[in-house]
């Protein structure tokens, strides 16, 4: 079993999130969401803390983390890019969009670009099938994406986050 190597501060952050959900086993998915939001990913050591706080088995926590494609055990890029491969997006050309992202970023699904800026993942349905094919970058959703738009989307983030720029 790997030993906890997390900073005290990080452990406390995780414990706080668990406490917000009353350390309830049934809140596992919410806890995982919040922790991933804060830390960017869910490495083994983090899952150990969560399992302990929620008084559930580590295997069960790991089972949930590996079941949902949203959760990741690998550190994500500054701007995590996800391409929906659900049925609607797939039939409207999501695969070509994904191929274009892979080509331009020169990384595979599950990998992060060497400069740490982008990571690439595929997911199953974000519930916006009317906008298929859908790409998300961080929290931002892009609809009806074509392979031609890929370079534009990437460019938006190379100078910093556009949504932040707007709100400022």
Closest to 104 in 3D by CA, of 154, 141, 138: 154
Which lies closer to another protein via its Cβ, residue 60 or residue 117? Answer: 60
Angle at which helices 44-53 and 8-20 cross, to 10°: 40
Q: How many binding residues for another protein (CB under 8 A)? A: 14
Which lies closer to another protein via its Cβ, residue 43 or residue 147? Answer: 43
Q: CB of 134 within 8 A of CB of 128?
A: yes
Closest to 89 in 3D by CA, of 81, 98, 80: 98
Which lies closer to another protein via its Cβ, residue 47 or residue 112? Answer: 47
Provide the mask over 28-67, with x wherever binding to another protein is found by CB under 8 A and - wherever it is not. ----------------x--x--------xxxxxxxx--xx
- Nearest distance from C-beta of residue 126 to another protein, angstroms: 17
Q: For residues 49 and 140, give the distance between their C-alpha atoms in angstroms, rounded to a whole number.
A: 30
- Nearest distance from C-beta of residue 44 to another protein, angstroms: 5
- Nearest distance from C-beta of residue 69 to another protein, angstroms: 8
Three-state SS string over 41-53 comes to CCCHHHHHHHHHH
What is the widest separation between alpha-carbon atoms in the chain?
Answer: 49
- Nearest distance from C-beta of residue 2 to another protein, angstroms: 8
Q: For residues 7 and 116, give the distance between their C-alpha atoms in angstroms, rounded to a whole number.
A: 22
Which lies closer to another protein via its Cβ, residue 5 or residue 166? Answer: 5
Which lies closer to another protein via its Cβ, residue 103 or residue 124? Answer: 124
Contact call for residue 21 and another protein (CB under 8 A): no
- Nearest distance from C-beta of residue 146 to another protein, angstroms: 29
Q: CB of 39 within 8 A of CB of 53?
A: no
Using CB under 8 A, list all residues that contact another protein: 1-2, 44, 47, 56-63, 66-67
């Amino acid at each position: 079993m790997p030993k906890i190597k997390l900073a005290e501060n990080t452990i406390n952050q995780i414990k706080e999130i668990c406490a917000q959900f009353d350390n309830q086993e049934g809140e596992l998915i919410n806890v995982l969401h919040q922790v991933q939001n804060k830390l960017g990913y869910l490495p083994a050591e983090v899952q150990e803390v969560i399992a302990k706080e929620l008084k559930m088995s580590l295997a069960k926590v790991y089972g949930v983390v590996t079941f949902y494609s949203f959760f990741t055990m690998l550190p994500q890029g500054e701007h995590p890019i996800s391409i929906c491969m659900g049925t609607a997006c797939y039939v409207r050309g999501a695969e070509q969009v994904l191929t274009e992202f892979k080509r331009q970023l020169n990384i595979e699904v599950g990998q992060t670009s060497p400069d740490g800026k982008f990571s690439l993942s595929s997911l199953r349905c974000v519930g916006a099938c009317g906008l298929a094919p859908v790409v998300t970058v961080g929290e931002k959703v892009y609809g009806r994406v074509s392979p031609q738009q890929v370079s534009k989307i990437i460019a938006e983030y190379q100078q910093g986050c556009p949504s932040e720029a707007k709100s400022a």
